[in-house]
Amino acid sequence: MIEVPSRVSVRDLAKVFQDGEARVEAFAQITLEARPGEFLCLVGPSGCGKTTLLRCLAGIETPSAGAIEHRLEPGAPGAEQAMVFQQHGLFPWLTVEANLHFVLRESPVPRQEHDAIVQRLLERVGLARFRRFYPYQLSGGMNQRVALVRAFCVQPQVLLMDEPFVFLDYQNRIVLQDLLLELWQEQRQTILFVTHNINEAIALGDRVLVMPGTAGPFAREISCPFGRPRDVVQLRTNPDYQRIVVEVTQLLRQEQEHSLREGRIG
Ligand SMILES: Nc1ncnc2c1ncn2[C@@H]1O[C@H](COP(=O)(O)OP(=O)(O)OP(=O)(O)O)[C@@H](O)[C@H]1O
Ligand SMILES: [Mg+2]
């Protein structure tokens, strides 16, 4: 068997927030390997450190212990990584296309390709007509679609997503899940995707990692063996899918109980 090198490697990572007497252990002993092109989902009780872990991976927070390694492809044309947040985070004073051009200018993507990338991706997600609109002139779902395009336009090798669809209604969530899978299938970067929605994690991911309710190693790793491309709605009729949803739900219930017993945020 050929060993596929991991794109993101995390070993024994821990993060403690210390503010005077107050000490919060966000997470501890986290080890994970994400392969190139893998779609990895993280679920876990509220307050178990998912956002902090992504922020450490993005370089926004510094871990207290352990190591993170991004093994990037040398000479690849795109950015090293991009992050998508719960809120779209678009600049309100820039139009849709100006928001995209802004991140492209900061990226290694050659200048002469920017216009074509913006045009193609906006068409791809049905927003070409809105290129000169400002974020306040768009709906929540449309803004989140722009945020998705903004992340993909720099062709990142690693994409970090923190509950990007949490504020969307059910139908918009499905639309965005479909778009995410389509864009990812074209570019195939490594994605780390945090969500509270178990159905979403299992429908999108190659694997789901369950963060523990007490600071410690991942509680479980579950494979989602459904092949690609996937229909995130049709998948719900699959008995294996239903079984995995129940399994992860029960596991999360246990971890939530641990978390409450430990007095972590529940
Ligand atoms: N800047 C900070 N200073 C102090 N403590 C923090 C800071 N950021 C996060 N924490 C603490 O770290 C722990 C983990 O927080 P984090 O936001 O990573 O959890 P989460 O799993 O993303 O939760 P949720 O599912 O509710 O989004 C919490 O106890 C939180 O209070
Ligand atoms: Mg969070």
pLDDT tens track for 89-110: 999 999 999 999 999 999 999 9
Q: Is the pLDDT of residue 197 over 90?
A: yes
pLDDT in tens, 224-252: 999 999 999 999 999 999 999 999 999 99
Q: Is the CB of 17 under 6 A from ligand 1?
A: yes
Q: What is the pLDDT of residue 4?
A: 65
CA distances from 90 to 50, 129, 264 (A): 22, 18, 32
Residue 263's pLDDT is: 72
Q: What is the pLDDT of residue 1?
A: 52
The per-residue pLDDT for range 7-66, each reduced to its tens digit, is 999 999 999 999 888 899 999 999 999 999 999 999 999 999 999 999 999 999 999 999
Higher-pLDDT residue of 264, 261: 261
Of ligand 1's listed atoms, the one at least distance from the Cα of 46 is: 25
- The chain-wide mean pLDDT, for the chain, equals 93
Residue pair 29/14 in contact (Cβ under 8 Å)? The answer is yes
Percent of the chain with pLDDT over 90: 81
Residue 49 CB–ligand 1 contact under 6 Å: yes
- Give yes or no for residue 26 CB within 6 A of ligand 1: yes
Shortest-distance atom of ligand 1 to CA 15? 12
192 neighbors 39 (Cβ within 8 angstroms): no
Residues 149-166: what's their mean pLDDT? 96
Ligand showing the shortest atom-to-Cα distance for residue 27 = 1
* Secondary structure of residue 51 in the 3-state scheme: helix
Would the CB of 50 count as within 6 Å of ligand 1?
yes
Q: Which of 151 and 215 is assigned the larger pLDDT? A: 151
* 120 vs 216, more confident: 120
How far apart CA 76 and CA 155 sit, in angstroms, is 9
Name the residue ranges covered by the structural domains of the chain: 1-73+158-266, 90-156
- What was the pLDDT predicted at 266? 44
Identify the pLDDT of residue 213: 87
Confirm or reject: Cβ of 234 under 6 Å from ligand 1. no
Hey, which CATH number is domain 1-73+158-266, 2.60.40.2250, 3.40.50.2300, 3.40.50.300, 3.40.50.1370?
Answer: 3.40.50.300
- Mutation choice for ligand 1 from 13, 21, 46, 52, CB with most ligand atoms inside 8 A: 52
How much is the pLDDT for 3?
64
pTM for the model stands at 0.95
Which neighbouring-strand residues pair with 191? 39, 159
SS3 8: strand
